[in-house]
């Protein structure tokens, strides 16, 4: 029985334009310098989380990653048809579940630096939940 050769993946070279720092092709209006050694930083990325409990002063959230104690985060909540963003401080964090290779964490987040609009949206959301439960 003759063997059929496996087709190789088609690889097409793509030209890449590289302009070293400081050349005339730069579009920056400020000088950028190369770091010799290491310089560390962090980036803020919105990650999904589940809100398990909420109050006017904070919430209990569930994530698949730990939140560092006392770290500050921008927290975006969609409460009914309204969305708010406020600062939150992690008050506590613990492992709540381990299932196969997935670890789940529960963290208490204290709301800080809330403006009146955010405060009112949270208050209205909580009151609407309580009213719905009294009727149901």
* Residues near 123 by beta carbon (within 8 Å), at least 6 away in sequence: 56
Looking at residue 88, what is its pLDDT?
95
Looking at residue 4, what is its pLDDT?
41
pTM (global) more than 0.85: no
Looking at residue 78, what is its pLDDT?
92
What's the CA dihedral at 103, 108, 110, 115 to 10 degrees? 60
Looking at residue 1, what is its pLDDT?
42
Extract the residue ranges of the chain whose pLDDT is less than 70.
1-26, 28, 136
**Angle formed at CA 63 by CA 57 and CA 67, multiple of 5 degrees:** 70
Q: Is the distance from CB of 110 to CB of 57 less than 8 angstroms?
A: yes
- Which of 128, 110, 45, 26 is closest to 71 using CA atoms? 110
State which H helix or E strand residue 116 sits in.
Answer: helix 116-135
Q: Is the distance from CB of 86 to CB of 78 less than 8 angstroms?
A: no
Dump pLDDT digits (tens) for 80-89: 999 999 999 9
CA distance 50 to 35: 39
Looking at residue 22, what is its pLDDT?
55
Looking at residue 9, what is its pLDDT?
45
Looking at residue 52, what is its pLDDT?
97
Cα–Cα distances (Å) from 19 to 22, 44, 97, 114, 115, in that order, read 8, 28, 49, 45, 46
Reported CATH class of domain 50-135: mainly beta
Looking at residue 40, what is its pLDDT?
84
Supply 87's token pair: 């600062």
CA distance 136 to 120: 24
């Amino acid at each position: 029985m003759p063997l059929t050769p496996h087709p190789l993946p088609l690889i097409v070279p793509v030209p890449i334009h590289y302009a070293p720092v400081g050349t005339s092709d730069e579009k920056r209006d400020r000088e950028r310098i190369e770091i010799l050694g290491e310089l560390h930083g962090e980036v803020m990325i919105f990650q999904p989380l589940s809100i398990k409990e909420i109050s006017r002063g904070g919430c209990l959230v569930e994530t698949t990653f730990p939140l560092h104690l006392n770290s500050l985060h921008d927290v975006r909540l969609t409460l009914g048809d309204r969305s708010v963003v406020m600062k939150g401080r992690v008050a506590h964090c613990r492992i709540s579940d381990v299932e196969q290779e997935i670890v789940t964490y529960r963290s208490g987040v204290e709301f800080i630096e809330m403006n009146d609009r955010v405060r009112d949206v949270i208050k209205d959301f909580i009151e609407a939940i309580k009213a719905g439960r009294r009727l149901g």
